[in-house]
Chains A and B, each alone.
Chain A
Amino acid sequence: MNFLKRAFLSLVRRKGKSLILLVIIFILSNVMAGSIAIGQASNNVERTIKLQLGANASVEFDWEKMQNWNEEQWNSLEYITPEMADRIGSLSYVKYYDYNSETYINSTTLTQYDPNMVEVPMYSYFPIKGVQYAPILDIVNGNATLVSGRTFNDTEVKNADYVALISDKVAELNNIFVGDVIYLQNTFSIWKEDNTVEEIKRDIALEVIGIFTPKVQQAEENNGGWIDYTPFNRIYVPNGVVHAENRWMNEQYAIAYPDSNIKIDQIYITPSFVLNNPEDVESFRTEAKNLLPDYYKVTVSSDAYDSVAGPIKFIGSLSNIILYVAIGATILILSLVVILFLRDRKHELGIYLSLGESKSKVVGQILIEVLSIAILAISLSLLTGNSIAESTSQSMMDLRNEITGNNNNGGVIYRDMGYYPNNGVTEDDVLEAYKIEFSWDYVLILYGVGLGTVLLSSIAPMIYILRLKPKKIMM
């Protein structure tokens, strides 16, 4: 009749007490199971959505740091250079990268795409995006699809050849095919004192080597009736083309305004980096920041998660609070219940001690009894906890909506295909990704937390046993 057998006998012969303990632990572990399931689901949403948002990074000014700058600081402002972009791009986290120079150039022969246009305008304005990465990052990322022709080759990018990719909408509207040449006019306007405008024009001929179709989110198209057709009118060219056209504009400016200190060769680029692994985001951010002046910050596409994850973060944090409260309540209630039960069994424990049983074995017997019941209760709550989590999640979402008045129609991340992939994620996407699942993680965490809590609850009862004096009990 060793302590293991005694524990077993106690469990089966003292059915009433065992059942009471089972019910108490079952109820409390259901609360824990529900909280853990909700917490797991929230974490899964974060992982899923961040993966969906991708690991795309960019560099931009940290305006908060520049708020109180003096004139001297502004004059010494250092723009991102291709060399800086190359240095960041050579970090091991980077899968591929690009840096873009942009400008707008008009045309009188090419009509821009705008389905709401009543009559053809005299000028159409086209956003020109220079690329350094010949396969074009937007196409590689899936934010645009090549429908005919090809992307650039390295030689064209290096030589700044006047070749371009246009959208299928613009091509269709203007009856343009791969191999055709389109004409744009880089125009510098000088406003005269007599309110007349002198225009200096430079014709640009671009050979169309490819036609793409941009990927635009439906939600963005319907967002309040305002539609941005920029992605459809964008023309991709090698960076060198944009630099040459900007240089020409700067030269015209210097001629028109000789007192100005314009830097003719100044170029402005926006770098984009695609990382190998979304989990490398923070390491990349730290290392990239070290390669930049301190007034730049590295933004990552997954940063946008916070703006759409309101309901899930609310549920996640509420479930955490509930979990902590449940753990606290379990420790308190279980400690008291077990001590009460032990007081009832004081004589029994005294008998073991008077027979020379070591206190550690007496403690072991009680621990085995409590843990056996706990394992059974936690196993049962594994099954019921998920259902509780599902119904509780809905109630919590309703509560959150009541508090915030949120009806889930906001929170769209608007994203042009310029810097980030066009994978705009809405609050609805986040809610859709929220699923209570029966996973191994859930099982392990519940057993870990549950049994850990039960062990903590056993500390006070164990101290009670260790303080027992057999003489006081037995004589």
Chain B
Amino acid sequence: MAILKATNIKYYYQDGENIRTILKDLSIEFEKGKFYTILGPSGSGKTTLLSLLAALDEPKEGNILYNDQDIKTIGYEKYRRNMISIVFQSYNLVPYMTALENVMIPMAITENEIPKNTKEVAYNLLDYIGITKTKADRIVNKLSGGEQQRVAIARSLASNVDVIFADEPTGNLDSELEDEIIEIFRTLAHEHNKCIIMVTHSKEIADKSDVSFQLKKGVLLQNE
């Protein structure tokens, strides 16, 4: 059963009388326990699609359903707070906080059930993702790019959600680190029953996913 469903999504930019269509009547479904990739060249609309699915923006037409409930009805803020999390290309960590503190931020925001020993949980999450306790107590700016992205992944897990979006999370990393990060996402999908939806322009990454879609000129095609 699909946890997340987009139906007849349309998105365009209007500049005076000129309309630039980004997404044309797009429909797509995602299930738990699978690692999805959306492949496409720059400007194909894949980041726009991700921002719509993550409720960072609103489609001009169409609906996005989470467990068959319109996310507009749920409320975008509540949806972002309790149902999804996002890993960004540029990590987007709070620069003056430690890795541990960054991971603890969503724990205070989400209304999902979180164990009371939040600090311990955060340490465990970081450890699981490959960040030692010593590094967890460092200010994030002192960590390497790969470590920062791991912290960002740990943060996405902290709010205990089922759907995790990733916007080119390996874009700033070398190929060795890229492999490690992709492996983490695969594990999260397969071993922890998460729905991972990653946007990428890398065919290699797309090949490692369970389901891969290609976005071309606003139209979505499923890769065989």
Which residues on A are within 8 Å of B, measured CB to CB? Answer: 1-3, 5-6, 9-10, 13-14, 347-348, 350-358, 469-471, 474-475
Contacts and interface: CB of A to CB of B under 8 A. Distances in A.
Given A14-B96, A347-B92, A474-B56, A355 B85 contact: yes
Interface of B: 47, 50-51, 54, 56-57, 77-82, 85-86, 88, 92-97, 101, 104-110, 139, 159, 167
A217 B7 CA distance: 96
16 contacts: A1-B104, A1-B107, A5-B108, A10-B96, A347-B92, A348-B94, A353-B80, A355-B85, A355-B109, A355-B159, A356-B77, A356-B78, A470-B56, A471-B51, A474-B56, A475-B88
Given A1-B101, A1-B107, A357-B81, A351 B94 contact: yes
Given A354-B80, A356-B110, A357-B109, A474 B88 contact: yes
Contacts of A358: 77
A191 B94 CA distance: 107
A5 B105 CA distance: 10
Contacts of B81: 355-357
A353 B78 CA distance: 11
A14 B105 CA distance: 18
Given A356-B77, A475-B88, 7 more contacts: A10-B96, A13-B96, A348-B94, A355-B80, A355-B85, A355-B106, A356-B78
Contacts of B54: 354
B167 A475 contact: yes
Contacts of A3: 108
Contact of B92 (A13, A350, A469): A350
Contacts of A5: 108
Contacts of A351: 92-94, 105
Contacts, number: 71
A475 B108 contact: no
B105 A354 contact: no
A3 B95 CA distance: 16
Contacts of A469: 56-57
Contacts of B79: 356
B108 A354 contact: no
Contacts of B82: 356
Contact of B101 (A9, A348, A353): A9
A475 B78 CA distance: 20
A2 B94 CA distance: 14
Nearest to A1: B104
- A-B interface, 8 closest residue pairs, ranked by CB to CB distance from nearest: A356-B81, A356-B80, A13-B96, A471-B56, A1-B104, A2-B108, A471-B57, A471-B51
A247 to B, nearest CB: 94
Contact of A354 (B56, B101, B107): B56
B105 A1 contact: yes
A472 to B, nearest CB: 9
Contacts of A355: 80-81, 85, 105-106, 109-110, 159
A418 B167 CA distance: 93
B50 to A, nearest CB: 8
A175 B97 CA distance: 97
B108 A474 contact: no
A400 to B, nearest CB: 51
Contacts of B110: 355-356
A6 B56 contact: no
Contacts of B167: 475
B56 A13 contact: no
A354 B96 contact: no
